[in-house]
Structure 1
Amino acid sequence: MKHPFSSYRKLFPILERTAQLSSCSQSALSLPVRGAIDDYLEVWLQRGADWGYWMEQVELARAEFARMINAKPDDVAVLGSVSDAASSIASALTFEGDRREIVTTTLDFPSLCHVWLAQQPRGAKVRFVQAEAGSTRTTAQIAEAVDARTALVSVSQACYYDGQIIDIATTGRAAREQGAVQFVDAYQSAGSIAIDVRAQEVDMLATGAQKYLLGIPGIAFLYVRPELAQRLTPKVTGWFGRVNPFSFDPEHLDFADGAARFNTGTPPMMCASVARASMSLLNEIGIPSIEAYLAELSAVALEEAARLGLSVASPATPAAKGANTAIRIPNAAEVEARMLQSGYVVSARNDVIRVAPHFYNTADEVVGALRELTRLTQ
């Protein structure tokens, strides 16, 4: 298979010696990201403190993310993690009367499920859809679970465990028809799957920079549909959620318009510098092109896994999954360490090894990783 992004591989030095196939956990370090870190440290070293530079990086990162999902920068808040974003949203919701349910699935990332479960003392009732690894029915199961009792639908667009895709337009429509709203966890999809929050009519969507966005942990982006944002008042807040953070008024609480009301404390400046650089690279290439190429790599992975007789936890068709192809391995953590010694960075989760390439990877690297996995587990 011809590599359409071969000219970009030189930006990822680790690929000269190691095949990093762990974007579901941490993508490879690029030279633009390394440069952004070095620039931040140099400014700190030379100027001591430069608030204007810091805030410029935050705004540039916000703008790059907005561009990626077809939103306006004002519709995006900047927080520390997706858990923080979800907690802020949860604090703004009420669970009263007959509308108390939060619908999620047993394959959503536990951190988000824990946020929703923490709302039970406030009256929330969490309803878990029993999702199965490798299934293509989870979207329909979620839609069927939504009814007049639903306050919030929480979905992972791509599952952290097996990579299965949820059609967020379909689940979002089911929520709207019942008067509920939807929260989308895009941590395993943003940067590898094209997202258009307007076309898909997304209410709320959050992601962090560490995985397919090519960045580091410590920063998250929260999109909130403008009309919805104006109706919500978070109880989790900080000085950057104010109309004018620099009024330094301790005695009055107001909330900024739009998504800015979900900002909390001082934003993660260095992480923003990294995210600005990493997302700029992704936007330069174009997410639709990346998504198409990763679907080809998924086809390669599924075909090779079948030929090798590996047990695949992911859906059996590329269209039903993201870049992550999960292979069932009982001693996954141990095998992950042995794979690294063999020159392959993969990611273990419970009883699976996840082979999760990005645009910079080749079909040969995917095939090589699966063959080495087979060798180590025979």
Structure 2
Amino acid sequence: MNHTRHSLNALGTKLKSEFPLHNDICYLNHAAVSPWPKRTQLAVSSFAEENAIFGATNYLEWLKTESALRAHLAKLINAPSPSDIALSKSTSEALSIIAYGLQWEQGDEIVISNQEFPSNRIVWESLSNKGVNLKVVNIDKDDPVSAIEKRLTSKTKLVSISSVQYASGLKIDIDRLGKVCKQKNVLFCVDAIQSLGAYKFDIAQSLADFVVADGHKWMMGPEGLALLYVKPEVRDSMTLNQYGWHMVKHRGDYTRNSWELAPDATRFECGSPNMLGIHALNASLSLINEIGIETISEALDSNISYLIGKLKDIPGIEFVSSIEHPRLAGIVTFTVNGIEPNELYSELMKAGVICACRGGGVRFSPHFYTPEHVIDRAIEIVKTTVCQLQNQ
């Protein structure tokens, strides 16, 4: 940890220039929407200026940026090829593509956890009209992988799980769960929105058939653009429910009267790409690539440990999150005895501590670059706010 902190200190000037956050706020809300790095702001500004002056004159260069983004995303999950990466509008859309692309039979089962964000629940519930049964496994106390494994049957077709749970911050042993699914011949879907950009993810280790993740949290990109990975062997068996000019093999040949599906992941992209979002997310991922995901995850773990140590000094604090490794990720959710979480959250936001109210508590989520003095200031504000609320 000390070595990582030293490495980031050496990058201090660079990180300060990349994240010139307003001095009046303590930003601890990356699990919701992350600030952009400075380079991302500049990439969007440059793209907008170019578009205003030249229109689409340089569209072929834009396509190179799109290719670079696919390469960044492929590297982030260790996908075999950038051609395995589809660009979706959101995690919800990506999950819907999966849910309605698979072939379901009456009595098929899907298994999720009781801690999932609605995106990874509602889409599976919607399949009930196809005779598909959804099992929700309680992972609050038991080992999550063991709890899920116990609920798998010969009818289980798919397990869908978040790599890190949005409210509790519980980190799931994805690699271990992937091996269980492989042994049981069950498809494995990972919603990685709360880990990609913060922690290492390896398709080869996790054995995931599907990976989905928006770019606006730990990847520090814009809303409206998400990763969709589908294992090639599964991809070829999926039904498509969206059609357009972009998802065909001979894209750009507008005189053809016949068409075939694109052989790669672009078959899931029915229409025009989100070029503005592509330029933004590509810039954000270039920073992650420069610093390295190992350095980022170690620095984030250091920040989380520091944050927990400071929070423990607050009288009456109780942690909703597990605060023990390896279940701990970039999210710490807590309550303070005698104070309603929503009330504490509202007062903290007014005081400039940007956070969220999730899972029955206040959720803090710093990132790797968050300075310790920002955490210190946030803790002082929490202490002051708690005293004020207790004395009302």
TM normalised by structure 1 equals: 0.92
Q: Which residue of 2 aligns with 1:189?
A: 195
Q: Which residue of 2 aligns with 1:363?
A: 372
Q: Which residue of 1 aligns with 2:74?
A: 66
Cα distance in 1 for partners of 2:147, 2:257 equals 48
Gaps of 5+ in 1: none
- CA shift at 1:123, angstroms? 2.2
Q: Which amino acid aligns with 2:124?
A: W
- CA shift at 1:226, angstroms? 2.0
Cα distance in 2 for partners of 1:334, 1:355 equals 15
Question: Over aligned residue pairs, what C-alpha RMSD do you find?
Answer: 2.1
Indicate the SS of the match to 1:307.
coil
Q: Which of 162-171 and 342-351 deviates more?
A: 342-351
Q: Which amino acid aligns with 1:377?
A: V
Q: Which amino acid aligns with 1:116?
A: W
- CA shift at 1:126, angstroms? 0.8
Q: Which residue of 2 aligns with 1:86?
A: 95
TM normalised by structure 2 equals: 0.89
Distance 1:240-1:320 versus aligned 2 partners, 3 A rule: same
Q: Which amino acid aligns with 2:185?
A: G
- CA shift at 1:324, angstroms? 0.8
Question: Does structure 2 retain, via aligned residues, the 8 Å contact 1:161–1:326?
Answer: yes
Distance 1:94-1:308 versus aligned 2 partners, 3 A rule: same
Q: Which residue of 1 aligns with 2:179?
A: 173
Q: Which amino acid aligns with 1:315?
A: S
> 1:290 aligned to 2:299?
no
> 1:164 aligned to 2:157?
no
Indicate the SS of the match to 1:23.
coil
Q: Which residue of 2 aligns with 1:270?
A: 276
- CA shift at 1:49, angstroms? 2.5
- CA shift at 1:288, angstroms? 1.2
Cα distance in 2 for partners of 1:13, 1:120 equals 48
Question: Does structure 2 retain, via aligned residues, the 8 Å contact 1:185–1:206?
Answer: yes
Q: Which residue of 1 aligns with 2:345?
A: 336
Q: Which residue of 2 aligns with 1:154?
A: 160
Q: After superposition, give the CA deviation of every residue in 1:261-320 in whole Å (9 maximum; x if it has no partner).
A: 222321211111100000010111011111111112222222222221311110121421
Match of 1:222 among 223, 228, 237: 228
Q: Which of 148-157 and 254-263 deviates more?
A: 254-263
Match of 1:12 among 8, 19, 42: 19
Distance 1:41-1:145 versus aligned 2 partners, 3 A rule: same
Q: Which residue of 2 aligns with 1:316?
A: 323
Match of 2:125 among 112, 117, 120: 117
Indicate the SS of the match to 1:41.
helix
- CA shift at 1:172, angstroms? 1.6
Cα distance in 2 for partners of 1:203, 1:368 equals 43
Q: Which amino acid aligns with 1:57?
A: T
Q: Which of 250-259 and 158-167 deviates more?
A: 250-259
Gaps of 5+ in 2: 388-392
Cα distance in 2 for partners of 1:89, 1:28 equals 29
Distance 1:126-1:250 versus aligned 2 partners, 3 A rule: farther
Indicate the SS of the match to 2:161.
strand
Cα distance in 1 for partners of 2:167, 2:47 equals 34
Cα distance in 1 for partners of 2:105, 2:255 equals 33
- CA shift at 1:347, angstroms? 2.0
